[in-house]
Amino acid sequence: MFKCKELLEGITYECIKGTIDKEISEVVYDSRKIVKDCLFICICGYNTDGHSFAAETVQKGAAALVVQKDVEAPKDSDVTVIKVEDTRYAMAFISAAYFGHPADRLKVIGITGTKGKTTTTYLIRSILESAGYKAGLVGTIETIIGDRHIPAANTTPESFLLQKYFKEMEEEGCQVVVMEVASQGLKLHRTQGFTFEIGIFTNLEPDHIGPNEHADFEEYQACKGLLFQQCRLGIVNIDDSHAKEVLKGHTCTLETYGFDKRADFYAQDLELVKKPGELGIDFTVGGKRSFQVEVPTPGRFSVYNALTAIAVCSHFQVETAQIQKALLSAHVKGRIEMVPVSDQFTLLIDYAHNAMSLKSLLATLREYQPSRLICLFGCGGNRSKLRRFEMGEVSGTYADLTIVTSDNPRFEEPLDIIEDIKTGICRTKGQFVEICDRKEAIAYAIDHGQSGDIIVLAGKGHEDYQEIKGIKYPMDERVLIAQILEERQKSL
């Protein structure tokens, strides 16, 4: 049990009814999970408002309410009502107190930016674990706590869940947590209530702008910058044109990385690595560290990801040999993931699911001078049609052959989505084939692969399902590839 006032430490509030000395059993922000003597936080969501359930939660046994609006509490109740400016902000501090401030005893590393967050979290965790640290991870794909892998609902969980994870990581013996920090998570105060040991900025391009996201690019940029008012050390991509604006108002000390030789950690002497069924890049690190690195993924963005990990791990006294070994063996599911199929051509899976990420990926693969660059992708239903036109145009421009297929059609007809994609491709001179069934499309790509080809399956990445009419059906591209290869073997 907690005293209500103990949970409110660190926030500004007004007790407008009852007493803050009241005993609290649990903290709850979902009205369906009310228990006797709990403290209920009224959150304003996009679809529902917790304030509308205030009276109901009191009748169910809530002992205290935290609100930002006026609510009608039953007149005959002795409920405590605490008013704050923003209940989401308050929830972060209340949650931290409820779980005993676990982040104060962990070194939390937060990574924000448009691209590179997921890969970089795994790289950093891989290096730290190889050096003997026990590290938790929170990100787009999953949360990792010891041997547990918990599928993610949001890139950055709600503050209550995040603090719960921190507590479990501490109990599991973790010393470090590496986490993705989404702009929405910063906007909605999910990362308040603690201080990051290190904050990282990767890059910034227009994204997540629209209803229920960010009003415009300026807001998106400003939200990214909030991380650098919540960390002790900021490690920033010096090459990104938006870095200066993102850092406005920062309160942390700074280090930089990039290709610019003024950076604290910089890359030089890049060489493309091309092996049977594998693409990579070799480079030399300069600045505060000096050694050679090879990573088994292609492109300049792979260098940026590796540099970030090197900069972070330098603050944990990780030896050069451990960094080199970990970078060479690190793989991230669905992020430029090479799948061994043939020594004649290279096949990879990537999560590129918008025009910006697809263009970056295909332009990178072009640098490896493939005989043909083949791009297989679809687009999600009940999403912007503009994304379909743009992705079609990008693939038509950069790929020698586009295989248009289905992704997550949701409540739309797959063929209608495909027609939109084809509209974009037809703005170019790119060749394409249309195969609606994704397994058949992948089989076509494999069966028609030629010596020197690079084949990329884009859009699904780490996802292991296909969403149709509100139902998620199992569909993992790695499983589909294995089935196709087994079927071809049997037919020989």
**Whether pLDDT at 492 is above 80:** no
**Whether pLDDT at 75 is above 90:** no
- What is the per-residue pLDDT across 149-169, written as a single tens digit (0 to 9) for each? 999 988 889 999 999 999 999
Q: Do the Cβ atoms of 49 and 30 come closer than 8 Å? A: no
Model pLDDT, residue 223: 84
Model pLDDT, residue 184: 82
Mean pLDDT of the chain: 94
* Residue 184 CA: distances (Å) to CA of 76, 126, 212: 39, 26, 9
Q: Do the Cβ atoms of 5 and 97 come closer than 8 Å? A: no
Mean pLDDT of 26-39: 96
Who wins on pLDDT, 490 or 313?
313
* Residue 204 CA: distances (Å) to CA of 118, 414, 434: 15, 32, 33
Residues 372, 358: Cα–Cα separation, whole Å: 16
**Whether pLDDT at 363 is above 70:** yes
Mean pLDDT of 51-56: 94
- What is the per-residue pLDDT across 370-424, written as a single tens digit (0 to 9) for each? 999 999 999 999 988 999 999 999 999 999 999 999 999 999 999 999 999 999 9
Residues 445, 364: Cα–Cα separation, whole Å: 20
Q: Do the Cβ atoms of 443 and 410 come closer than 8 Å? A: no
Share of the chain above pLDDT 90, in %: 86
Model pLDDT, residue 172: 98
Mean pLDDT of 72-96: 93
Mean pLDDT of 443-463: 97
Q: Ranked by mean pLDDT, which of 45-49, 276-280, 349-353 comes out on top?
A: 349-353
- What's the pTM value of the predicted model, to 2 decimals? 0.90
Residues 445, 216: Cα–Cα separation, whole Å: 39
Model pLDDT, residue 102: 98
Share of the chain above pLDDT 70, in %: 98
Query: At residue 484, what is the residue type?
Result: I
Mean pLDDT of 216-244: 90
**Whether pLDDT at 217 is above 80:** no
Model pLDDT, residue 30: 94
Query: Model confidence at 213, in pLDDT bands (50, 70, 90)?
Result: low
